[in-house]
Amino acid sequence: MTPFPAGLSTTWVPVALSHELRSKPLARRVADVPLVLFRGAEGVAVLKDRCPHRNYPLSGGKVENGALRCPYHGWRFDGAGRCVDVPGADKGSDISRLGAERIAAVERFGAIFIRLEGGEQAPPFAPPPLLGDPAYDHFWYTRGVWRGRAIDALENILDPFHTNFIHDGLIRDSRHRQPVKQTLAYRDDGFEVTYEQQSPDRGWMPRLLEGERKRSVGRYLAPITFQGRWESTKGLTLCATAFFVPESHDTYRPFGCWTTRKGFAPNWLKRAAIMAFVRTVAEQDRVSLEKQHATINEFGAPKFKSGPTDLVHAPLAEFYHHGVAAARPPESRSIWL
Ligand code: FES
Ligand SMILES: [Fe+2]
């Protein structure tokens, strides 16, 4: 069993998109902790999905006057987790010690982020660069729970070499490759891999969405975030921020936010153009990662041999499992993609 990544419980992670949480409570899970989300009187609220009375799941309840009512005996909890009602008790009864366990939550940029430990402060919610930046257009994409390990999904998105095969024709091409200079640079919070090449990738997606390309950068922000940036000589063309939130040891929920320059087209049109490709690309990755995971399970544990193209494997594992990696000078190499 692969442990959850180091620092996960003190990291702000997305658990739902804003539009997924309406008037009914929503059950989610992060690192094997069942959670209930609801819209309280003072905004979004997240509690552990366990009624403190007899441990009935609160997510089966109803929101009444901004407080969540447990279906079993009707106790009601406000957004801070305080018990505000015990039906049948005498009016003056002291119910102040009957609160539910509250989880720090914020709603920003169209998503709900939580932190399992540490409350709202120290450190407060800080988004990855570009996410929600008002100078750009953004849209989110999520598609349920995926089977597998979040670390394998992170390696998949950081690794360009699978794109010639799994996304043959869409991102790159299995028959034609071009020389690329790949540089890995370490940072305090992860690492960044830069790809410099003469022409854009040959697949339909880069050809239709990007035009020219100067370089692309894949960044890992430990423990569970990836950010890809594609740049032309004029600056940013596309940016994708992806969070792989472990639900259990065998499942994770990916959330992606696409960021583009404002101005040249309305956001709905850019979204339609990007999503025309991303739906298929994401499905190809989901299927591949599930097959990889099924094989790992069949043999009982992963047993990987890394080859000359597996530059990100070791630093990813170091940051993922330990939260830090030994500082090293940047490494550059020539590859074919
Ligand atoms: S178990 Fe929730 S009110 Fe009794
Ligand atoms: Fe992929």
Pocket test for ligand 1, best of 75, 76, 86, 101 (most atoms within 8 A of CB): 75
The list of the chain residues with pLDDT below 70 reads: 120-122
pTM for the predicted model, two decimal places: 0.96
Q: Whose CA is nearest to atom 1 of ligand 1?
A: 54
DSSP per-residue string spanning 249-285: SSEEEEEEEEEEESSSS-HHHHHHHHHHHHHHHHHHH
Domain ranges for the chain: 8-115, 136-336
CATH class of 8-115: mainly beta
* 136-336: in CATH 3.90.380.10: yes
DSSP track, 182-212 = EEEEEETTEEEEEEE-SS--SSHHHHHHTSS
Question: Widest CA span of the chain, in angstroms?
Answer: 78
Q: Whose CA is nearest to atom 3 of ligand 1?
A: 73
pLDDT of residue 121: 67
- Residue 30, SS3 per DSSP: strand
**Residue 71 Cα to ligand 1 middle (Å):** 7
Residue 162 contacts by C-beta under 8 Å, 6 or more apart in sequence?
Answer: 156, 288
Q: What is residue 36's predicted lDDT score, i.e. its pLDDT?
A: 98
pLDDT of residue 75: 98
pLDDT digits (tens, 9 = 90+) for 44-56: 999 999 999 999 9
| Owner of token pair 């891999």 | 193
Q: How far is CA 295 from CA 251, 303, 318, in A?
A: 15, 11, 23
